[in-house]
Amino acid sequence: MQVDFRPHGIHLPEIDLWLDCTEVCGTNWISHGHSDHARGLHGRVFSTDETAEIYRMRVPDAAAALNTEPLPSEWNGARLTWHAASHILGAAQILVEYQGERLVYTGDIKLRAPICGHETEVVECDRLIVESTFGLPIYRFLGREEARERIIQCAREALADKLSPVYIGYPLGRGQEIAHVLCEAGIPTAVHGSIARFIPLYERGGYAFPGWVPYSQGNIAGRALVVTPEFRNFLEASGKAIRLIYVSGWAGLDNARARTGAEELIPYSDHADFDELLTLVERSKARRVDVVHGYTEVFAQILRDRGLDARPALAATSGGTMESNEG
């Protein structure tokens, strides 16, 4: 099957289908709702129901909403199915079966069970297109239960010290997971509006947020705060008694404390760490692996050293940064 890798997306010309295209195109599969994957007013959009709802919220133009559809089982001679990915709520891989070949595009993915969302279904295939945001051996992350315990422990310790624990999350995914853990543990929690706007979607998905309140400057004392990264500078300058806690895959880096100003680092991510990526590739049984996003050249070389036919999708792709890919 021909696959054309472009800076703005992946095109399967034989069946005229784009994968996570970020420029206007005819028909596009959107793997999940993060803005680096779900944007643009396309002719047609295929996705899971949760991703479609996020897409409508983030791209509110009527044309985008009206043209969002469930993934059809048949498309231009190919059989299409989606399979869950443990990235954020609604995230999914796509399996394309065409002329005897099975191709899987993972989108952003991890193998461990998420705090909120569906666990990844590993799909056997001939060709795998996999993201490698954290495709270096230095990245090792906590599992769901370990991360949950650390989030709760940090909050209780800060509150006992008369400090407001401030969790640096992301508007979609990590922010809701942190808020869910805190609320379920009975910790008074205030949530920044850019994170709170997606809470109803998570509640419809079965995740409870008992007792949370919207963040305002007057309701900091005695509460945990869940805010976005750009908001931390404001809180640090406010003079309030706070303790910054950074929950991210990037928290595992040696310079994470200096980069973020956080006193507590919790290396939990909605992406696969290095070992998870290796396991995912192995379990897919793919004969060819194309690596997209992040450390593409390095991770592809690691796979080649293990005897696989692997290559970076775009040679110019470089490693991630602490601010990229909502890690």
Q: Does the pLDDT of residue 319 top 50, yes or no?
A: no
> Comparing C-alpha atoms, which of 312, 295, 322 is closest to residue 133?
295
* pLDDT at residue number 231: 74
**Portion of the chain with pLDDT greater than 90, in percent:** 78
Using CA atoms, how far residue 112 sits from 64, 78, 170, 203, in Å, is: 32, 30, 19, 22
Q: How far apart are CA 242 and CA 255, in angstroms?
A: 21
Average pLDDT, the chain: 91
Q: Cα 63 from chain centroid?
A: 25
Q: Does the pLDDT of residue 327 top 50, yes or no?
A: yes
| Lookup: tokens for 130 | 């996999």
Q: How far apart are CA 124 and CA 198, in angstroms?
A: 33
Helices 144-160 + 174-184 axis angle, to 10: 60
Q: Does the pLDDT of residue 216 top 50, yes or no?
A: yes
* pLDDT at residue number 65: 58
Residue type, 245: I
* pLDDT at residue number 314: 77
pLDDT digits (tens, 9 = 90+) for 177-215: 999 999 999 999 999 999 999 999 999 999 999 999 999
Q: Residue 118 carries which DSSP code? A: P
- Average the pLDDT over 59-85 and give the result: 84
| Lookup: tokens for 16 | 């005229």
Confidence band (pLDDT; 50, 70, 90) for 219?
confident
Confidence band (pLDDT; 50, 70, 90) for 64?
low
Sign of the Cα pseudo-torsion (116, 66, 78, 19, in order) = negative
- The whole-model pTM stands at 0.93
Determine how many CB atoms are found less than 10 A away from the CB of residue 74. Answer: 8
pLDDT digits (tens, 9 = 90+) for 4-47: 999 999 999 999 999 999 999 999 999 999 988 888 888 899 99
Q: Is 228 left (phi over 0), alpha (psi -120 to 50) or beta?
A: beta
Where helices occur in the chain by DSSP H, the ranges are 49-58, 62-66, 144-160, 174-184, 193-196, 199-204, 232-237, 256-260, 274-284, 296-305
Q: Does the pLDDT of residue 320 top 50, yes or no?
A: no
More confident residue, 74 or 217: 74
